[in-house]
Amino acid sequence: MDRMSAVSASDGATVSHEVVPAPLALHAEDGHVLRGFVWRHAPDGMTERPVVIVNPATSVRCRYYSRFAAFLYAHGFDVVLYDYRGIGESRPVSLKGFHAGWIDWGRLDVEAVLQHVVSDFPGQPIQVVAHSVGGFLIGLAASSHRIERVFSMGAQFAYWRDYARHKRYRMFVKWHLVMPALTALFGYFPGQRLGWLEDTPRGVVRDWTAREPRFEDAWRRGSLVLGEAERQALVERFAALRGPTLALSMTDDEFGTVPAIQRLLRYYRNSPTTHLHVAPESIGQCEIGHFAFFHSRFESTLWRIPLDWLRNGCLPADAPGRVMPLATG
């Protein structure tokens, strides 16, 4: 991997201007190899140093989060980036005939990374930064009870009626009609050639394009059918997360709207949640949307929100936006 320019820590930490993350390779329970990168400080006996796992959005390569990982590293965290099976560093030679869906990403991939961190970073607190579907996948992992704290950005599971009202039907056509049609034609979603994120396994597209308001109902029928007991067990697994969650959303995020964020948060009934809703104008920006948060231009504004949360479990005193009450429903 190319050298990454580390961010100078504002608290006086001494870091190299160039950080070369180490390659990561680990095996999921079914033998699939997951790959990524690790930013790790030299051993110094500091078992209290948190290690942050970054869960990417659907079909976004882990490299996209490298600047943010270097930022966290510069502020004293160890950081693990990885790609889910079928994406980026963890992609097979061909996606035709490759079977992977959101259940695999959560039950197998997120779980494998959690187990790896428990083993390879003994005694260190485990925290998770989750983007989009990455916040949903936490709940499918059996070891989520090991997570001390979660920061999520735009985390939801793509229920189309939660999309921003003024873009809802155009998004429905693009993501819930055109995407599955192309996937049926090619055997996978050819996102790279279209400029629509990464190439994506067929099973992931099946899960993304489901039309039910409860995620567990997506596996009641179709190409992946789960029994009632198994689906209920998936829902109950979300209760294992007890570490607090800060869920960040943007007013111009067409995917991560307030209803979408809160629909997911209600599954994590044992995780104390804080939902912060931020308007781009509050930090002098015209737009941020669903993806731009992880651009390094937000280091001095938005990135201090997860930094304070991961360090201390609280919001910066002058954090932009407003805290939204969690609605029932």
Whether the CB-CB separation of 41 and 51 falls below 8 Å is answered with no
How would you write the pLDDT of the chain (329 residues) with one tens digit per residue? 444 444 444 444 434 446 789 999 999 999 999 999 999 999 877 679 999 999 999 999 999 999 999 999 999 999 999 999 999 999 999 999 999 999 999 999 999 999 999 999 999 999 999 999 999 999 999 999 999 999 999 999 999 999 999 999 999 999 999 999 999 999 999 999 999 999 999 999 999 999 899 988 888 766 677 888 888 898 999 999 999 999 999 999 999 999 999 999 999 999 999 999 999 999 999 999 999 999 999 999 999 999 999 999 999 999 999 999 998 86
Looking up tokens 């079928």 gives 86
Q: Angle at the Cα of 302 (from 298 to 307), degrees rounded to 5?
A: 110
pTM, full prediction: 0.93
* Structure confidence at residue 158 (pLDDT): 92
Helix, strand, coil: what percent of the chain each, to 5? 40, 15, 45
The Cα–Cα gap between 102 and 157 comes to 10
The Cα–Cα gap between 259 and 121 comes to 36
pLDDT tens per residue, range 2-55:
444 444 444 444 344 467 899 999 999 999 999 999 999 998 776 799 999 999
245-250, strands of its sheet edge to edge:
22-27, 33-39, 78-82, 51-55, 126-131, 147-153, 245-250, 273-278, 322-324
The SS3 assignment for 24 reads: strand
Bridge partner residues of 82 (DSSP) = 36
The Cα–Cα gap between 301 and 42 comes to 29
Cα distances (angstroms) measured from residue 274 to each of 99, 130, 306, 328: 35, 15, 12, 14
Domains of the chain (ranges; CATH) run 4-158+224-324 (3.40.50.1820)
Q: Where are the beta strands (DSSP E) in 139-180?
A: 147-153
Bridge partner residues of 184 (DSSP) = none
Whether the CB-CB separation of 39 and 69 falls below 8 Å is answered with yes
